[in-house]
Amino acid sequence: MAVSSSEKAHSQEVIMDSKKIKTSHIIVFIILILFFSAFPFISSLLFDKSSLLLAHLTIWYAIIPPVIIFLLAYLLYRKEENFLLHMGRTWIFVGLWFLMQLFLSAISGLSILLRLLSFPATTVGNTGFIAGSVIFILGGILFIALGNRRSIAIPYRKGITLSANIAILLVIILISIFALGSTRLSEQPLIEDSKVPSEEQIFGWIEDVYNFGIRRTGSSADLRAIDYIQEKLKEFGIADIRAVPFTFDYWEPISWKLSILEPAGKTYPMTCFYVPYTGPTGTDGITADLVYLGKGSQEDFEGADVKGKIILVDMPPTNISWEDEGILLYGL
């Protein structure tokens, strides 16, 4: 049978368009998969993490993306005349979800963003996602390979397709439930045999850290507390423990005191404390006349001779909040 050149060109154009559509489908589904991967941490930023709805959504999240991807792929290829090709393409796109999660988990150590994107798989230890990748990717390739053989091509029939797709949905749900219930029976004895520290041990650790002294950031007490906590965590079996260094201007007082000197020459030492990150007075300190200005209000200062003098004001008892007394934050 002879075919004109115009018919050949038309046939070739249809094939080229089909390839473009398939490529665009892959791109669209990859974007969709990345969106589903980012959904858990995006929803936690936008919504109340303590809400019951978000908790349920997180629990069943492993089921939702593959089912939605499957339904979209089914609708996209529902007009495919070859039933096996229809099933193969649908299976491969579902398998891409599981495979993409495994890939993101494997490279999650490169960036915190990749770690967040791999949240659905890493939270269940990749259990179920390996099975999903193998079943759907290899199954899809097998369906396409069989569908390309004319001898076993099965025509698209609505009833058969509907039944097969319901079965696939059940497979997806079972695999996802298996992923969600990734705590295997063999691991349960580890939980049962775990040693829970006694009340004395817990308070002993708190006492040890407390006895290091004031743990202002960068102080020797702070550094000792960091080493102590790292060692304890390693004893508990946590291997990946590391302290991240940070360079900043550190302020630490060497000595401080306050004394009242009477005209007769007698000195009275006073209980006192410094204000963090204030300027030093020098080794000799400062000696000056004392001026009392009541509560230290603007009216108390008006007309008072305070130049070169030490000012004494009353500090009434008050509830100090972090917002109102921000200067005290430097002392923590």
Q: What is the pLDDT of residue 186?
A: 39
Q: Which two tokens stand for residue 202?
A: 């817990």
Taking each helix axis from N to C terminus, what angle separates 83-106 and 139-147, rounded to the nearest 10 degrees?
Answer: 150
**Domain residue limits at 225:** 195-250
Comparing 91 with 222, the larger pLDDT belongs to 222
Judged by average pLDDT, the poorest of 2-16, 28-42, 75-89 is 2-16
| Res. 210: pLDDT tops 90 | yes
| 241 and 281 belong to one structural domain | no
Q: What is the pLDDT of residue 175?
A: 63
What are the residue ranges of helices labelled H in 107-238?
112-117, 119-122, 129-133, 139-147, 158-180, 188-192, 199-210, 220-235
Q: What is the DSSP string of 171-190?
A: HHHHHHHHHHT---GGGHHH
pLDDT band at 140; cut points 50, 70, 90? confident
Q: Tell me whether residue 322 is in a domain.
A: yes
| Res. 21: pLDDT tops 70 | no
Distance spanning both ends of the chain, measured CA to CA:
90
Question: Using the 8-state DSSP alphabet, how is residue 309 labeled?
Answer: S
| Res. 185: pLDDT tops 60 | no
Q: Tell me whether residue 2 is in a domain.
A: no
Average pLDDT of the segment spanning 209-238: 90
Comparing 68 with 179, the larger pLDDT belongs to 68
Provide the domain count of the chain. Answer: 3
| 242 and 290 belong to one structural domain | no
Average pLDDT of the segment spanning 51-76: 73
| 83 and 151 belong to one structural domain | yes
Q: What is the pLDDT of residue 54?
A: 65
Average pLDDT of the segment spanning 72-83: 77
Judged by average pLDDT, the poorest of 58-72, 154-168, 310-324 is 154-168
Q: What is the pLDDT of residue 228?
A: 94
| 179 and 219 belong to one structural domain | no
Q: What is the pLDDT of residue 205?
A: 93
Mean pLDDT of the chain: 75
| Collapsed DSSP state (helix, strand, coil) of residue 99 | helix
Q: How far apart are CA 37 and CA 176, in angstroms?
A: 15
| 157 and 297 belong to one structural domain | no
Judged by average pLDDT, the poorest of 15-19, 46-50, 150-154 is 15-19
| 103 and 230 belong to one structural domain | no
Residue type, 185: L
| 238 and 271 belong to one structural domain | no
| Res. 18: pLDDT tops 50 | no
Q: What is the pLDDT of residue 5?
A: 45
Q: What is the pLDDT of residue 226?
A: 93
Average pLDDT of the segment spanning 292-306: 86
Comparing 5 with 194, the larger pLDDT belongs to 194
Q: What is the pLDDT of residue 194?
A: 55
Contacts (Cβ under 8 Å, ≥6 apart) of 315: none
| 279 and 212 belong to one structural domain | no
Tell which of 138, 159, 190 closes a domain: 190
Q: What is the pLDDT of residue 127?
A: 65
Q: Left, alpha or beta for 312 (phi > 0: left; psi -120 to 50: alpha)?
A: beta
| 25 and 103 belong to one structural domain | yes
Average pLDDT of the segment spanning 58-65: 69
Tell which of 190, 205, 230 closes a domain: 190
pTM (predicted TM-score):
0.45
| 82 and 128 belong to one structural domain | yes
Q: What is the pLDDT of residue 52?
A: 65
| 185 and 92 belong to one structural domain | yes
Q: Tell me whether residue 90 is in a domain.
A: yes
Residues 118-129 pLDDT 10s: 877 776 666 667
| 223 and 277 belong to one structural domain | no
Q: What is the pLDDT of residue 218?
A: 86
